[in-house]
Amino acid sequence: MAPDRDWWRHAVVYQVYPRSFADADGDGIGDLRGILSRVDYLASLGIDAVWLSPFYPSPLADGGYDVADYRNVDPRLGTLEDMDELIAVLHERGIRVVVDIVPNHTSDRHPWFQEALAAGRGSEARERYIFRDGAGPQGAEPPTDWVSMFGGPAWAPAGDGQWYLHTFAVEQPDLNWDRPDVRADFVRTLRFWADRGVDGFRIDVAHMLTKDLTEPLPSRDELALIPVDGQHPLLDRDDVHEVYAEWRQVFDEYDPPRAAVAEAWVDSSRVPLYARPESLGQAFNFDLLEADFDAAQFRRVVTENLALAAASGSSSTWVLSNHDVVRPATRYGLPHPPRKTDGHPAVKHGVQWLREGGSDSAVDRVAGLRRARAAALFMLGLPGSAYLYQGEELGLPEVGDLAAAARQDPTFFRSGGQDPGRDGCRVPLPWSPDGPSFGFGPGPAHLPQPAWFAEYSVAAQEEAVGSTLRLLRRALALRRRFAETAVFEWVDTGDPDVLRYRRGGGWEVVTNFGPAPYDLDRIEMAVTSGLNIMGVVPPDTTVWLAPASGA
Ligand code: GLC
Query: What number does the ligand 1 atom closest to the CA of 167 have?
Result: 6
Give the chain's end-to-end CA distance (angstroms, integer).
Answer: 33
Q: How far is ligand 1, taken at its centre, from the CA of residue 247, in Å? A: 21
Relative to the CA of 102, which ligand 1 atom is closest? 12
Please state, rounded to an integer, the average pLDDT across all residues of the chain.
93
Question: Ligand 1 atom 4: the closest Cα is on which residue?
Answer: 65
* Mutate-to-test residue for ligand 1 from 205, 207, 411, highest number of ligand atoms within 8 A of CB: 205
- Mean pLDDT of the region 17-46: 98
Long-range CB contact pairs, 470-475, < 8 A, 24+: 471/373, 471/377, 471/527, 471/529, 472/45, 472/376, 472/380, 472/388, 472/392, 472/393, 473/44, 473/45, 473/46, 473/393, 474/527, 475/376, 475/377, 475/380, 475/527, 475/544
Mean pLDDT for the stretch of residues 403-425? 88
Q: Is residue 432 predicted with pLDDT exceeding 70?
A: yes
Query: Could you give the strand order of the β-sheet that contains 96-101, starting from the edge strand earlier in sequence?
Result: 259-262, 200-203, 96-101, 49-52, 12-16, 385-389, 317-319
Identify the top-confidence range among 326-340, 394-408, 487-501. Answer: 487-501
345-374: per-residue pLDDT in tens?
Answer: 433 445 565 555 567 778 899 999 999 999
Nearest atom of ligand 1 to the alpha carbon of 168: 6
Q: Which of 16, 17, 53, 65 to mutate to test the pocket of ligand 1 (most atoms within 8 A of CB)?
A: 65
Ligand 1-lining residues (CB < 6 angstroms): 62, 65, 102, 168, 204-205, 263, 323-324
Mutate to test the pocket of ligand 1, among 56, 60, 62, 208 (most ligand atoms within 8 A of CB): 62
Q: Ligand 1: which residue has its CA nearest to atom 9?
A: 324
The more confident residue out of 257 and 522 is 257
pLDDT of residue 341: 43
pLDDT, tens digit, 9 for 90 and up, residues 238-254? 999 999 999 999 999 99
User: How far is ligand 1, taken at its centre, from the CA of residue 323, in Å?
Assistant: 9
- Per-residue pLDDT reduced to its tens digit, 447-492: 999 999 999 999 999 999 999 999 999 999 999 999 999 899 999 9
pLDDT tens, position by position, 189-224: 999 999 999 999 999 999 999 999 999 999 999 999
The confidence score (pLDDT) of residue 337 equals: 55
CA neighbours closer than 13 Å in the CB half-sphere of residue 268: 18
Per-residue pLDDT at 344 exceeds 70: no
Query: Considering only CA atoms, which of 251, 151, 246, 261 is closest in space to residue 206?
Result: 261
Using H for helix, E for strand and C for coil, what is the string for 403-442? CHHHCCCHHHHHCCCCCCCCHHHCCCCCCCCCCCCCCCCC
Asked whether residue 294 carries a pLDDT value surpassing 80, the answer given is yes
Residues 164 and 155 sit within 8 Å (Cβ to Cβ): yes
Helices (H), 228-349: 240-251, 271-275, 287-290, 295-312, 328-331
Residues 318-327 pLDDT 10s:
999 999 989 9
Residue 394: DSSP 8-state: G
Provide the pLDDT for residue 550.
47
- Where residue 342 falls among pLDDT bands split at 50, 70, 90? very low
**Active-site option among 253, 267, 434, 463:** 253
- How confident is the model over 132-168, as pLDDT tens digits? 999 999 999 999 999 999 889 999 999 999 999 999 9
Nearest ligand 1 atom to alpha carbon 344: 7
Q: Is 74 an active-site residue? A: no
pLDDT at 290: 87
203 CA to middle of ligand 1, Å?
Answer: 10
Beta pairing, strands 96-101 & 536-537? unpaired
Cα 405 to middle of ligand 1, angstroms: 22
Which atom of ligand 1 lies nearest, measured to the CA of 324?
9
Which of 23, 171, 174, 204 is an active site residue? Answer: 204
Each residue's pLDDT tens digit, 51-101: 999 999 999 999 999 999 999 999 999 999 999 999 999 999 999 999 999
Which of 388, 519, 422, 529 has its CA nearest to residue 468?
529
Asked if 428 and 30 touch (Cβ cutoff 8 Å), the reply is yes
How far apart (Å, rounded) are the C-alpha atoms in residues 488 and 482?
Answer: 11
Percentage of the chain lying above the pLDDT 70 cut: 95
Tell me which residue of 391, 389, 336 sits closest to 363, measured CA to CA.
336
Report the half-sphere exposure of 400 (CA within 13 A, side-chain side).
26
What's the pLDDT at 363?
86
* Residue of the CA atom closest to atom 12 of ligand 1: 65
For residue 204, the CA-to-ligand 1 centroid distance in Å is 6
Contact between 143 and 133 (Cβ < 8 Å): yes
* Positive or negative torsion for Cα 450, 451, 454, 456: negative
- Ligand 1 centroid distance, CA of 264 (Å): 11
56, 261, 266, 324, best to mutate for ligand 1 pocket (most atoms within 8 Å of CB): 324
Cβ atoms 98, 387 nearer than 8 A = no
b/e per residue 116-152 (b: at least 16 CB within 10 A):
bbeeeeeeebbbbbbbbebeeeebeebbbbbebbbbb
Cα(340) to centroid(ligand 1), Å: 19
- Which phi and psi (to 5°) does residue 511 adopt? -120, 130
Give the closest residue (by CA) to ligand 1 atom 2.
204
Q: What is the pLDDT of residues 492-509, one digit of tens each?
A: 999 999 999 999 999 999
Known active-site residue 253? yes
DSSP 51-97: EEPP-SS---TTTT-S-S-TTS--TTT--HHHHHHHHHHHHHTT-EE
